[in-house]
Amino acid sequence: MSLYELAILGDVIPKERAVLISTIGDMVADFGLALNKEVIVHDGASIYSRNKHAAFAAAYFGGTDKPDMEATQNLVLSSAPVIPTVVPSMDFIKAFPDFLQSANGLIRRAGDTKMSELAAALLECVGLLRAQRRVFISYRRTESRQAAVQLHDLLSERCFDVFLDTHDIRPGDPFQDVLWHRLVDSDVMIVLDTSSYFDSRWTRQEIGRARAKEIQVLRVIWPEHKPNKLTDLSETVYLADEDLKGPDGPIKKSTAEALVLSVERLRSLSIAASVMSMA
């Protein structure tokens, strides 16, 4: 019997459906769940036979034809979560029926070829991924401040709760206490690995604590820098000279966007690892 049920409705082409289902399958597999067993993905025809006792969410692809309107309206009337989704060039008002226009939509970004953001949003709706989206940025202010601020702002725009020491510790607060508390409560740690990153005992301790808590680490390595072996098990992105606009950033837009998508995937892995460790 299914535990979670999802639906992909609206003006969606077969390739888009296949990509989204594949990404959902990869994410739920981290939790030891399988498509067509514990997790069912419906279309406009099978949605009428969904298990109403299972946790449920739907994505509605906006477009000119607006198929599956009756089924989608029934979902809205039953208070089931439906995520309207469009590409950036599409007019939101024209893309959706009236009964969906009050819902906050998700814009599918061109660089997100696997639809990771939409898949994560669906899994948040059914409770597999927690709604809090916490990320910790570890860096040296003298070497990567501009890049750190840029990633803070990009992730915040995507509804992540991002910790950056210059932004999130109030005057008078115990600096290290707040920092450690936010670190251990994070899903993903971004390490901006520059030449003197490991010269600081604080950054070395941050890596150690992240490892101890099994927090997923995204390691972003500066050009011509040989990374420390302490982070060899991390997800790694090597920056080229052309990826940086200055010595400490910001990072080229397309590269920064790709880093944000990596965080989305690592967050799913981190939460799944935590859940599986308690099973």
Q: What is the mean pLDDT of residues 155-166?
A: 90
Handedness of CA 263, 268, 269, 271 (dihedral sign): positive
**Domain span holding position 211:** 134-277
Q: Decide if pLDDT at 278 tops 90.
A: no
CATH number at residue 90: 3.40.50.2300
The answer on 168 and 246 residing in a single domain is yes
Greatest C-alpha distance within the chain? 61
Which residue(s) pair with 219 in the sheet? 191, 236
The answer on 240 and 146 residing in a single domain is yes
The answer on 178 and 159 residing in a single domain is yes
Q: Write down how long the chain is.
A: 279
Instruction: Return the structure tokens found at 265.
Output: 């995937």
Instruction: Return the structure tokens found at 39.
Output: 């997790």
The answer on 148 and 268 residing in a single domain is yes
The answer on 162 and 103 residing in a single domain is no
Q: Decide if pLDDT at 197 tops 70.
A: yes
The answer on 237 and 194 residing in a single domain is yes
- How far is the C-alpha of 230 from the C-alpha of 227, rounded, in Å? 8
Whole-number pLDDT of residue 171: 55
Q: At what angle do helices 14-29 and 253-277 cross, to 10 degrees?
A: 50
Locus of tokens 């206490």? 177
The answer on 167 and 119 residing in a single domain is no
- How far is the C-alpha of 109 from the C-alpha of 262, rounded, in Å? 14
Question: What one-character DSSP code corresponds to residue 180?
Answer: H
- How far is the C-alpha of 106 from the C-alpha of 95, rounded, in Å? 12
Mean pLDDT of the chain: 92
In total, how many domains does the chain have? 2
How buried is residue 177: exposed, middle or buried, by Cβ count under 10 Å (0-12/13-18/19+)? Answer: exposed
Portion of the chain with pLDDT greater than 70, in percent: 95
Whole-number pLDDT of residue 132: 87
Sheet-wide strand order for 106-107: 39-42, 4-10, 55-61, 82-86, 106-107
- How far is the C-alpha of 234 from the C-alpha of 242, rounded, in Å? 23
How many CB atoms are located within 10 Å of the residue 85 CB? 26
pLDDT tens per residue, range 8-66: 999 999 999 999 999 999 999 999 999 999 999 999 999 999 999 999 999 999 999 99
pLDDT classification of 175: cutoffs 50, 70, 90: low
pTM for this predicted structure: 0.89
Whole-number pLDDT of residue 232: 73
Q: Which of 84, 100, 125 is the last residue of a domain?
A: 125
Q: What is the mean pLDDT of residues 202-212?
A: 89
Q: How far is CA 251 from CA 203, 221, 262, in A?
A: 21, 12, 15
Q: What is the mean pLDDT of residues 220-229?
A: 90
The answer on 49 and 11 residing in a single domain is yes
Q: How far is CA 224 from CA 93, 119, 188, 238, 248, in A?
A: 48, 35, 25, 9, 14
Q: What is the mean pLDDT of residues 235-256?
A: 96
Which residue(s) pair with 42 in the sheet? 7
Q: Which of 106, 125, 144 is the last residue of a domain?
A: 125
